[in-house]
């Protein structure tokens, strides 16, 4: 059974999904998805684990406070969330920006995180050969979203079209049904969602400096890097290797930026095997 909670941490409140019983696993989504990205994995992992899947600060059904959205601060949210839920040591899985938050959390709380899975994320400050990324994956959006004012000027009033374009370019074929798109639009078309989403990109310099510091004392826990062959592919592993010393990588065939949604059975098997 899935529980939906609202947990107040620091200066915000996080919508959080909890299911199952056993060794805890925390799942962190990216942009532009929500905890719902993990909907297929949660019942599988919940057979043996307590699964905690929050909406990150400002996204999904979590509150959207003003301010910066650096990944170190977002990681502090999740650390406090696990403390409030009286969760000790846990495995941590992050997709997209959730992967950056996961790496920041693992670096700041090395005693808390037992294993780390990074799905389809390239860490700021950890550059990779562009040829490692699929040619199908868009290269324009990171810089565009980070520019002050211009994205707001061009996207406002066309948020649905902007999101639809991004999903179509980053997925393999058509990864989302209409009902899934409607669930994501339910939260991403609400007041403040555009501001927050762009803020995630605009913290890039701060996030890069954080990762450069982590690289000086690399993570020693086991890390699994998962890429889609039509997404970030082997670049995920190449990026994560710059801040961690024990990294294995897997590339999922016929897959874009959303492995847990496009190939849930395969990804669930990979994660279960890694956690065990």
174-206: pLDDT as tens digits: 679 999 999 999 999 999 999 999 999 999 999
Whole-prediction pTM value? 0.97
Q: What is the pLDDT of residues 8-48, one digit of tens each?
A: 998 899 999 999 999 999 999 999 999 999 999 999 999 99
Catalytic residue among 55, 61, 96, 207: 96
Give first-to-last CA distance, the chain, whole Å.
23
Candidate ranges 135-139, 165-169, 213-217; pick with highest mean pLDDT = 213-217
**Is 129 labeled as catalytic in the residue annotation?**
no
Question: What percent of the chain is modeled with pLDDT above 70?
Answer: 99
**Is 96 labeled as catalytic in the residue annotation?**
yes
Q: Is the peptide bond before 114 cis (omega within 30 degrees of 0)?
A: no
State which residues form the domain around 196.
3-275
Catalytic residue among 69, 188, 201, 258: 201
| pLDDT confidence of residue 11 | 86
Q: How far apart are CA 15 and CA 58, in angstroms?
A: 10
Counting the structural domains of the chain, the total is 1
CB atoms within 10 A of CB 73: 17
Q: How many helices (H) and strands (E) does the chain have?
A: 12, 8
Segments of the chain assigned E as strands: 3-9, 12-20, 23-28, 49-54, 90-95, 113-119, 223-228, 247-252
| pLDDT confidence of residue 133 | 96
At residue 104 the predicted structure's pLDDT band, cuts being 50, 70 and 90, is: very high
Mean pLDDT value across residues 132-154: 95
DSSP per residue, 210-245: HHHHHHHS-B-S-EEEEEETTTTTTHHHHHHTTTBS
| pLDDT confidence of residue 50 | 98
Q: How far apart are CA 61 and CA 77, in angstroms?
A: 15
What is the CATH classification number for the domain harbouring 85?
3.40.50.1820
Strands across the sheet containing 247-252: 3-9, 12-20, 49-54, 23-28, 90-95, 113-119, 223-228, 247-252
Q: How far apart are CA 193 and CA 52, in angstroms?
A: 23
- Is 80 exceeded by the pLDDT of residue 173? no
Mean pLDDT value across residues 244-249: 98
Mean pLDDT value across residues 61-68: 95
At residue 117 the predicted structure's pLDDT band, cuts being 50, 70 and 90, is: very high
**Is 257 labeled as catalytic in the residue annotation?**
yes
At residue 139 the predicted structure's pLDDT band, cuts being 50, 70 and 90, is: confident
Q: How far apart are CA 160 and CA 248, in angstroms?
A: 37
Per the DSSP assignment, residues forming a β-bridge with 244 are: 219
- 119-138 b/e with 16+ CB inside 10 Å = b? bbbbbbbbebeeebbbebbe
| pLDDT confidence of residue 68 | 85
Mean pLDDT value across residues 238-259: 97
């Amino acid at each position: 059974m899935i529980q939906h909670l609202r947990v107040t941490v620091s200066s915000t409140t996080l919508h959080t999904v909890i299911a199952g019983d056993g060794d805890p696993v925390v799942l962190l989504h990216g942009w532009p998805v929500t905890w719902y990205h993990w909907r297929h994995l949660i019942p599988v992992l919940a057979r043996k684990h307590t699964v905690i899947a929050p909406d990150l600060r400002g996204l999904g059904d979590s509150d959207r406070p003003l301010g910066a959205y650096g990944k170190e601060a977002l990681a502090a949210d999740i650390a406090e969330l696990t403390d409030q839920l009286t969760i000790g040591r846990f495995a941590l899985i992050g997709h997209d920006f959730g992967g950056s938050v996961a790496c920041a959390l693992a670096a700041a709380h090395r005693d808390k995180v037992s294993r780390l899975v990074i799905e389809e994320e390239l860490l700021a400050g950890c550059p990779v050969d562009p040829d490692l990324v699929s040619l199908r994956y868009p290269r324009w959006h990171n810089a565009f979203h980070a520019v002050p004012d211009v994205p707001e000027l061009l996207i406002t009033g066309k948020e649905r079209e902007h999101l639809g374009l991004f999903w179509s370019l980053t997925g393999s074929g058509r990864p989302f049904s209409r009902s899934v798109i409607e669930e994501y639009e339910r939260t991403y078309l609400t007041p403040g969602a555009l501001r927050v989403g762009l803020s995630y990109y605009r913290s890039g310099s701060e996030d890069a400096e954080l990762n450069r510091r982590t690289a000086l004392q690399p993570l020693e826990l086991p890390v699994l890097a998962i890429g889609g062959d039509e997404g970030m592919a082997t670049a995920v592993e190449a990026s994560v290797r710059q801040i961690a010393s024990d990294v294995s990588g897997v590339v999922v065939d016929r897959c874009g930026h959303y492995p847990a949604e496009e190939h849930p059975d395969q990804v669930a098997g990979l994660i279960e095997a890694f956690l065990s």
